Structure 1
Amino acid sequence: MMIDGAHALVTGGGTGIGAAIAQALADQGAKITLLGRREAPLREVADSIGAQAYVTTCDVTDPAQVATAFAAARERHGAIDILVNNAGGATTAPFAKLEFETWRSTMSVNCDAVFHCTREVIEAMVEAGSGRIVTVASVAGLHGVAYASPYSAAKHAAVGLMRSIALEMEGRGVTANAVCPGFVDTDMFARSVATIREKTGRSADEARAELARLNPSGRVITPEEVAAAVVELVRSDRNGEAVEIA
């Protein structure tokens, strides 16, 4: 797929992985829609990208808000050629102590939101005979993770959704893939480090090292590495893949 001139919408585009993906796609010439709940960080990313970046706020767990935001994006930049489902979040707790509200909210932002956003673009992509859908999942969506069962379950569901959509899209010019990072140097990673410090008394460096060892590479992944994998999937005809980056 030619990225130059294409319209890419990135959810959770104001920080971390989403911001890096938006920048990487913009560097390839894409028109960018940055979508998220908080306007200020979205504006900051848009300012760094330049005139081809458009900002619209939205809670991706609310289908009505998603419909309104996507309509605004299309009005600004035209049909959405590339959708990156990046918005997400995690909480940690032993399964036996989980409240249903935590389960439901985690599933909503990491899985339901992927459904809402993908439904907004899929029919138009099929009609156009072209489109790319990439969901930022996690290694937790490929392997079980202790103390993060709602997050792991939601990411497994997101990966499964991409694989199912990919089968339906065979031969239609539309691909659906997932990238599955391990620990990435983002605000969410910083919160994990803070939690370890609080509960164990370890230093920040010790907590970072402990988490880094859980990645097969033995180091923390950068947002730019995830962004590069997304760009590669957008360019290619690969379909139904779950690319592990760890």
Structure 2
Amino acid sequence: MVLKDKVVVITGASSGIGALTAQMVSKQGAIPILVARSEAKLKETAAGIPGVFGLYTCDVTDADGVQETFAQILATYGRIDILLNNAGYGKFAAFTEMEPHEFDDMMDVNYMGIVRCTKAVVPHMLERGSGQIINVASMAGKIGTAKSVAYTATKHAVLGFTNALRQELRKSGIIVSAVNPGPIATDFFKTADPSGNYEKSVARMMMTPEHVSSKIVKVMETGKEEIDLPGLAGLGIRLYGLFPRLADKLTYNAMNRK
């Protein structure tokens, strides 16, 4: 897909890969529509966007708010060509240390937020017979590790939703893609890993947000259905599928140090 003049809605766009992706697509002539909870942070991000853009304050856990926001976007821009579902967060803690409401809260943002935003845009895309939905999942959606039970569950849900929706919409003209990144050097770890232990243990495989954002833009351009980041992670996933016990032993020391 040529991105020039395309309307690209990005959730979680006030920082990290959401903000960088907005900047990158703008440089290619697209119209990024930035959606996030914080109006102040959105305005800070907007300062780095060279072209035309839109800003919308919205909490993806607010079903009515999501519907209203997407209705406003469609009324203003006339269409949505690409939806990048990027809003999400994590918290690394032992299962016994987390309360049930923390599981609910994380699922509400990471999974149900994607469901709500996708639900708001799919009827429009079906009517047009085109569009792309890109869901930012995680390598945690394929491999579980200690002290990330809640986060891993949300990302498995995202991948299951993405794969099933792709099959459902396969002949509709709508492309449904998943991006599964490993650790990224963003503010994600301020909430997920306050101790810094996990961040240190995966430092060698940590990716820059610029790298991940560039790969997301490539998915927009090519329509690829799924990518694992970094590239070698795909090999690890296949190893895990073939030899799960061996893979657990090989990854335990690095991935479980949280």
Are the equivalent residues in 2 in contact too, given 1:131–1:175 (CA < 8 A)? Answer: yes
Aligned length in residues: 230
- Give the corresponding residue for 1:70: 70
- Give the corresponding residue for 1:232: 218
Distance (whole Å) between structure 2 residues aligned to residue 178 and residue 45 of structure 1: 24
Aligned residue among 209, 214, 237 for 1:223: 209
Are the equivalent residues in 2 in contact too, given 1:183–1:211 (CA < 8 A)? Answer: yes
CA deviation string 1:136-170 (max 9, x = no partner): 11111111021111110001110111111111121
CA deviation string 1:62-101 (max 9, x = no partner): 1101011112222332211100000001112111222111
**Secondary structure of residue in 2 paired with 1:49:** coil
2:208 alignment partner AA: T
- Post-superposition, which runs of at least 4 consecutive aligned residues in structure 1 deviate over 6 A? none
The answer to whether 1:244 aligns with 2:228 is yes
| TM-score (normalizing by structure 2) | 0.84
- Give the corresponding residue for 1:200: none
Are the equivalent residues in 2 in contact too, given 1:135–1:177 (CA < 8 A)? Answer: yes
Are the equivalent residues in 1 in contact too, given 2:27–2:51 (CA < 8 A)? Answer: no
Distance (whole Å) between structure 2 residues aligned to residue 140 and residue 79 of structure 1: 33
Distance (whole Å) between structure 2 residues aligned to residue 105 and residue 139 of structure 1: 21
- Give the corresponding residue for 2:202: 211
Of the structure 1 ranges 46-55 and 62-71, higher mean CA displacement relative to structure 2 is found in 46-55
Distance (whole Å) between structure 1 residues aligned to residue 181 and residue 88 of structure 2: 13
CA deviation string 1:16-66 (max 9, x = no partner): 011111112112211111000001111111121145111110110111010
- Give the corresponding residue for 2:43: 43
| TM-score (normalizing by structure 1) | 0.88
**Structure 1 stretches lacking a partner, 5+ long:** 198-206, 213-217
Distance (whole Å) between structure 2 residues aligned to residue 126 and residue 244 of structure 1: 28
Are the equivalent residues in 2 in contact too, given 1:54–1:76 (CA < 8 A)? Answer: no
Distance (whole Å) between structure 2 residues aligned to residue 234 and residue 208 of structure 1: 29
Of the structure 1 ranges 96-105 and 7-16, higher mean CA displacement relative to structure 2 is found in 96-105
**Structure 2 stretches lacking a partner, 5+ long:** 231-258
Please, what is the CA RMSD of the aligned residues? 1.6
Distance (whole Å) between structure 1 residues aligned to residue 173 and residue 18 of structure 2: 25
The structural deviation recorded for 1:15 is 0.2
- Give the corresponding residue for 1:160: 160
- Give the corresponding residue for 1:89: 89
Give the direction of change, closer, same or farther, for the CA distance of 1:114–1:31 in structure 2 (3 Å limit): same
Give the percent of matched residue pairs that are identical in Structure 1 and Structure 2: 36
- Give the corresponding residue for 1:203: none
Are the equivalent residues in 1 in contact too, given 2:60–2:116 (CA < 8 A)? Answer: yes
* Correspondence list, 1:1-246, <5 A: 1-192=1-192, 194-196=194-196, 208-212=199-203, 218-239=204-225, 241=226, 243-246=227-230
Distance (whole Å) between structure 2 residues aligned to residue 29 and residue 69 of structure 1: 23
The structural deviation recorded for 1:193 is 5.4
Are the equivalent residues in 1 in contact too, given 2:90–2:191 (CA < 8 A)? Answer: no
